[in-house]
Copies of this chain bind each other. A is one copy, B any other.
């Protein structure tokens, strides 16, 4: 049963509240595994709408969590969340950073299980504080210094809540089961694996993910067939040497900074792979304690990527070899810690086609791009892999939006009219799948 007109009307009614919610989230950004306020807000809203709400260890496999902040940091952020209005009822369930939320609603008629995934976390970026940056000018810039929604997840979450409401409003017309996944820690690609390994998508027939902007930098453009999710691994390398006075006894030191510099250069020189794209980035290097001391400590934060899991594994193996031998070269110790990962993956072609048909039927997009190369990593790939392995289908929508500045820029901002387009296309796609519209 096609409900396009109803959806259009409902979405437009929700337009303003969606923008308001997005700005509220933008105002209170929370980074990976600390989305206490955001998740509590989502849980409250879903609960009010009538969804069964799961959170904490119900939806997060602790064994699959990586890159979790220390307990003291988690405690500080929990406290901040509650000071900023988070419902303690939910926050208390999210101990250890288990900030995922799952809303489930079974419609009366039987039908397929459809999952929609929205990511909630912010970036660790200091937001621009000038009037040329709209969030600043209009008063919804980050209250949490050092954190910023610079990737649009504030938009994703508020669209997810709008979709949640539309589905409930139309519940009598719908079949099957809807699962709304609000995921933490997409930045650093950490959250999806922990939710997928908890088994929450094992019964899912169709799963959809989406992103605002990225390659589609114009409002009104849409891509349904996304290729080139790069597999990725994130890790830290901590080098520990021996300090020494740089003037009086340089030969007695063990130089961790030089080991790290040597590693960095040689990491970037790992050979390209003939079977597809590879990437390496040492994003952060912090080393040394004083100008006149042979540096005894160094920390590298790096990531590898590959067009396939194999290529990424090649990069990981080479990178770890480089790091370990650079440490040996300078006589220092090194400890490598895994901080996150995402699989590579491919959209299910049949589902991508179906989404294109739906989007064309709606007639709200100026352009529907046939295929789009993601060229980066998204841990949605873990959900894709898990659903596809169980016989389901997975696809990802890239929803165009005019941008003020690129993703992860301190001036990032997007055209909020894209929120309505996103709400419409995601709601309609979900309903088409639930109701088996061909």
Number of residues from A at the complex interface, CB < 8 A: 76
User: Residue A274 contacts which of B249, B266, B280, B298 (CB distance < 8 angstroms)?
Assistant: B249
- The prevalent SS among residues of A at the interface is mixed
A230 at the binding interface (Cβ < 8 Å):
yes
A57 at the binding interface (Cβ < 8 Å):
no
A interface, CB within 8 angstroms of B: 123-125, 187-188, 214-215, 230, 232, 234, 243, 245-253, 255, 257-258, 260-262, 264-266, 268-269, 271-274, 277-295, 298, 301-303, 305, 314, 321-322, 325-326, 328-329, 331, 339, 374-377, 406-409
Cα A282 to Cα B279 with chains together (Å):
20
Contact of B285 with A285 in the complex, beta carbons under 8 Å: yes
Contact of A272 with B283 in the complex, beta carbons under 8 Å: no
Interface pairs (7), CB distance under 8 Å: A230-B247, A247-B377, A251-B314, A258-B265, A282-B288, A284-B287, A285-B298
Chain B nearest CB from A223 CB (Å) reads 14
Copies in the complex: 4
Contact of A268 with B258 in the complex, beta carbons under 8 Å: yes
Contact of A289 with B125 in the complex, beta carbons under 8 Å: yes
Residues in chain B near residue A252, CB distance under 8 A: 274
Cα A268 to Cα B269 with chains together (Å):
5
Known interface pairs A264-B258, A284-B287, A285-B257; A245-B407 also in contact (CB < 8 Å): yes
User: Residue A281 contacts which of B246, B282, B377 (CB distance < 8 angstroms)?
Assistant: B246
Cα A266 to Cα B330 with chains together (Å):
9
Contact of A293 with B288 in the complex, beta carbons under 8 Å: no
Residues in chain B near residue A288, CB distance under 8 A: 282-285, 301
Chain B nearest CB from A263 CB (Å) reads 9
Residues in chain B near residue A271, CB distance under 8 A: 250-251, 253, 255, 268, 294
User: Residue A303 contacts which of B292, B301, B406 (CB distance < 8 angstroms)?
Assistant: B292
Contact of B251 with A257 in the complex, beta carbons under 8 Å: no
- Chain B CB within 10 A, most for which of A271, A288, A303, A376: A271
Nearest residue, chain B, Cβ from A326: B329
User: Residue A266 contacts which of B247, B262, B298 (CB distance < 8 angstroms)?
Assistant: B262
Residues in chain B near residue A283, CB distance under 8 A: 246, 257, 288-295
Chain B nearest CB from A175 CB (Å) reads 38
Nearest residue, chain B, Cβ from A378: B247
Beyond contacts A247-B305, A329-B329: 7 other A-B pairs, Cβ-Cβ < 8 A, are A125-B290, A234-B291, A249-B274, A258-B269, A261-B262, A286-B287, A326-B329
Cα A280 to Cα B291 with chains together (Å):
10
Chain B nearest CB from A25 CB (Å) reads 20
Contact of A247 with B279 in the complex, beta carbons under 8 Å: yes
Cα A93 to Cα B374 with chains together (Å):
55
Contact of A408 with B293 in the complex, beta carbons under 8 Å: yes
